[in-house]
Chain A
Amino acid sequence: MAKTAPHDIEAAIAARRYFVTRVVIYGLLALFAVIYIVPFLVVVLNTFRDNIDVARNGLISFPRSFTLEAWPVAWGSYCLNGRCEGMSSNFWNSVYMTIPATIISTLLGALNGYILSKWKFTGSDTIFTILLFGVFMPGQIALMPWAYILGTTGLNQTLWGLIMVHVIQGISFTTLFCRNFYVNIPDDLIKAARIDGAGFWRIFWKIILPLSPPILIVTVIWQFTGIWNEFLYGVVLTTGKTQPVTAAVVAFAAQEQNVKEYNIISAGVLIAALPPLLVYFFGGKYFVRGLTQGAIK
């Protein structure tokens, strides 16, 4: 019989060990994936069940009925506080609030970051430090001041009021992101452009912004999901028809009725969650790439 060389045995042991560790790692990953996905799955499945099925078999159970009724009801005709319009108007409120607030706060952050990194002036570092406080400040602290400001300016109960609140609340984060990204752009580029004859704005539009997509994508995703999912300001500073979708979803679920219509509530939750989900789906890989970009250097 042919002799087996000792290193072959070692290689075989190493290969087996590698295989076992992989199985353990992927097994654990799969387990956690299931833990995360199951509640989501329950909600998705519940939107397709009729209410009798839910009442009889419980909230967590396989569907024994199939209907698409819940979706149009949640969207357009569910009655809430005597209004039977579903959540569509609140959904559009959120769209009209989130898109301008995201764009304005991102542009302001880019501009602030550009100034605080490339056009430093006496005290600019102090201003940046103060701005950073906003990153660590919980939004609830500012709730009463905002209510007061919107009340005195007449912007309460309006989307413009919410847009302003979200823009200003967001500036700390967007400035931090952009400033830290721009700090890594060599100052020589700015000097060269100044000698070339470009001024503050031309350098911003022609040199800084074209270099910015990685950080702007991160900032837009961050702001969009943050503003869309925000609930507290929406529920406190607006009421009824002017509320964003998050407030409407909570109102759906909190409504006092004899029978909770779980299928409609589930559909409402999913409709409300769709835009940030899509943003992550299409922008997620840029998000991770943008966040880790500075770390590789």
Chain B
Amino acid sequence: MAVLNISGVYKSFGPVEVLKDINLDVKSGEFIALVGPSGCGKSTLLAIIAGLEKASAGIISIGDRIVNSVAPKDRDIAMVFQSYALYPTMTVRENMMFGMEARGVPRDQREAALKRVSELLQIQQLLHRKPGQLSGGQRQRVAMGRALVRDPALFLFDEPLSNLDAKLRVEMRGEIKKLHQKIGKTTVYVTHDQVEAMTLSSRIAVLNKGVLQQFDEPQRIYDHPANMFVAGFMGSPAMNFMPAQIAVKGSGTELVLAGGAVLKLGRRLSPPAIGSVIVGIRPEHLTLATSKAANTVVGKVTLVEPTGSETHVISRIGNNDVTAKFFPYQAPKLGDDVRLAVDMDRICIFDAVSEQALA
């Protein structure tokens, strides 16, 4: 059953079109991440789902209802804000009760909901504090608690972790995932952090410049990005792009890179492509190779970035800087000449003009 359906949604602020023809279908219990660079329209889309902004065109349905002209409070949603938006003059308890009081929920039900959620989030000992007396992580928890007490059909998160420091962010990320596994509420989660999107969601919607680029499961987005934008945005370090000329050879396809190296693909593309393409290779799909190995590129190491668990090595290959990942003790040194084998089963090929993926 679809909990949320967005079809043909457009949004303009004056002459600026921030969302163009967005179509999304969210099933019950799904965790959807809306991800993209800042200014891509993801927060606007969330505000439209919440009813805080009006769509210029298109239809939003929650459950079986079209909600385009339904007020936010009547949409059966709850939202967690980036700034937490806790009411500063109220205690944690009053913050969590506020929505239920506004809706006239009977007292015993309010108390029961408060008890259930504060136990779930382990914030019982904070109930009598004001937001100003809480740490960042505690505020985050209370903000989620305020959303949870209402037991809505749909949860909306607007970059909820971006105000936390790196360590706490990872911790809270895990808690949000556990929470979703436990209660299974349908969730739409906006983030600019592709790692958060990958780790949390059942499906990811990648947006850029107001256009939905791809909507799929995380691993499929990672392995089979629909275009160069998605390929470059998802994954860190980012995918390497190298221009190449493509030609059909027998039952396979030959890719001639700018530097002269030849990569042989054991299959034909369909539909067949000729001329200029862009080859996309993820850093982990490059390995050190001997001179006898097939499908290799050669270059010189220009930068070595150890991260502890792995080392990123950037080499100059042809006219491109190419990043590869190594185990720290196997990584080449600065200035080394390297020969790297390309995992041909995992490369992506994009049209050089349209930047769309070629199958």
User: Interface on A for B, CB 8 Å cutoff?
Assistant: 186, 188-189, 191-199, 202, 206-207, 210-211
Contact = CB atoms under 8 A, between A and B. Distances in A.
A172 B329 CA distance: 72
A158 to B, nearest CB: 40
Contacts of B73: 194-198
B98 A188 contact: no
Identify whether the interface residues of A are mostly helix, strand, loop, or mixed: helix
B290 interface: no
Given A191-B52, A207-B87, A207-B89, A196 B99 contact: yes
B85 to A, nearest CB: 4
Given A186-B83, A211-B89, A195 B78 contact: yes
Nearest to B75: A195
A185 to B, nearest CB: 9
Contacts of A189: 85, 87-88
A202 B50 CA distance: 20
Nearest to B99: A196
A195 B67 CA distance: 14
B79 A195 contact: yes
Contact of A195 (B72, B82, B87): B72
B240 to A, nearest CB: 40
Given A192-B79, A195-B77, A211-B89, 5 more contacts: A191-B72, A195-B50, A195-B78, A196-B98, A207-B89
Nearest to A198: B102
B249 to A, nearest CB: 59
A151 to B, nearest CB: 46
10 contacts: A188-B85, A189-B85, A191-B81, A192-B85, A194-B52, A194-B71, A195-B51, A195-B79, A198-B98, A207-B89
A85 B145 CA distance: 66
Contact of B99 (A188, A197, A207): A197
A114 to B, nearest CB: 15
Nearest to B78: A195
A210 B94 CA distance: 13
B182 interface: no
A212 B97 CA distance: 22
